[in-house]
Amino acid sequence: MIDHAPATPAPRRGIGFIFKGKDGLRAGWSLAIFLAIFSALMVVASVIIRPRPPGPGLPQPLLGSLVPEAAFCVAVLVSGLLLSLIERRRFASYGLRRERRGKDLLAGMGWGVAMLSLLIGLMALCGALVFDGVALGAGAALGYGAAWFGFFCLVGLFEEFLTRGFLQYTLARGVAGLIASVSPSARSARTIGFWVAAAVFSVGLFAAGHISNAGESAMGLVSVALAGLTFAYALYRTGSLWWAIGFHATWDWAQSFLYGVPDSGMMMEGHLLATHPTGAALLSGGATGPEGSVLIVPTLLLTILIIHRTLPRRATAFDA
């Protein structure tokens, strides 16, 4: 008679297993709760914000664009904060780390202006962009410049946290968890999870958010996707969104205010310089602006190299 070793009893799994895993609340539930809260807050924001006439001496963009963008920032940040309480995680885990935030933000701002200026310079040298002169007086330039700078800082914060903050972090940990459950010895689960999430949000969601822009083009959408990957690489290097927030803000500000060119097909009121595109749209960007020019590809590839050389790799949750 052969003795058999007793079978190992299967682990008992209650209803809590559906909602929680080794890493706390399962990623799918976290994403669903975040999107529900964020959608509700965005609806509330759209209802309570009413167009108001600008105050004395204030340019139209200050209330017409800045206030709604501020409300959108509040909505996405509050959604992330509530999820950090539900998940019992540090809010900073979603990309708004305190370490080097000031240095990263300022460095990103500097590179944003520099790289957009490089792109504008290349277009001018190729005859694809012509400068027509200064469009504003000193007083108006200060007012519009400050208003647009504040607005685009909010745009950078909102779009970066929405596409590469909570959603990026949560999907990345979910994918990493799935890989670990199939192959517990997999050493690159977190790295794979990060780049899968980046493909979904930095490329997919980020590009999809620009489709409805008037004047957007196929080349423009390609450049938005490449910009998303560029920002994702900065996040991967540092574990922080601050560099990308700064770059995003001043890149858009330099387009819309400083050089007076369309930003993803949108032309803003109140720009310092007057310019117009000439020649083939593939080179000039046409109605899309510089982001619709093929010259943006080498510009962003150079930006990725700059990120690699100037942002030391830091130990983050995305390490393999």
How many C-beta atoms surround the C-beta of residue 181 within 10 A? 12
Res. 315: pLDDT tops 80:
no
Contacts of 175 by beta carbon, 8 Å cutoff, 6+ apart: 27, 189, 192, 193, 196, 197
Contact 308, 237 (CB under 8 A): yes
DSSP string covering 41-100: HHHHHHHH-------TT--HHIIIIIHHHHHHHHHHHHHHHHHHHHHT--GGGGS--STT
Mean pLDDT, range 39-64, rounded to an integer: 70
The upper half-sphere exposure of residue 151, i.e. CA atoms within 13 Å in the direction of its Cβ, equals 24
Res 41: pLDDT: 95
What pLDDT shows up at residue 3?
44
Q: What is the pLDDT of residue 311?
A: 93
Nearest to 66 by CA among 196, 181, 155, 161: 155
pLDDT tops 50 at residue 245: yes
Cα–Cα dist 238/247, whole Å:
14
Q: Show me where the domains of the chain are located.
A: 16-310
pLDDT at 88 over 80: yes
Q: Is the dihedral of CA 304, 309, 315, 319 positive or negative?
A: positive
Whole-number CA gyration radius for the chain: 23
Q: Tens digits of per-residue pLDDT, 179-204?
A: 888 887 777 888 999 999 999 998 88
Count of positions (residues) in the chain: 320
- The kind and range of the H/E element at 275 are strand 273-277
pLDDT per residue as tens digits for the range 98-147: 889 999 999 999 999 999 999 999 999 999 999 999 988 888 889 889 88
Q: Say what the pLDDT of residue 94 is.
A: 94
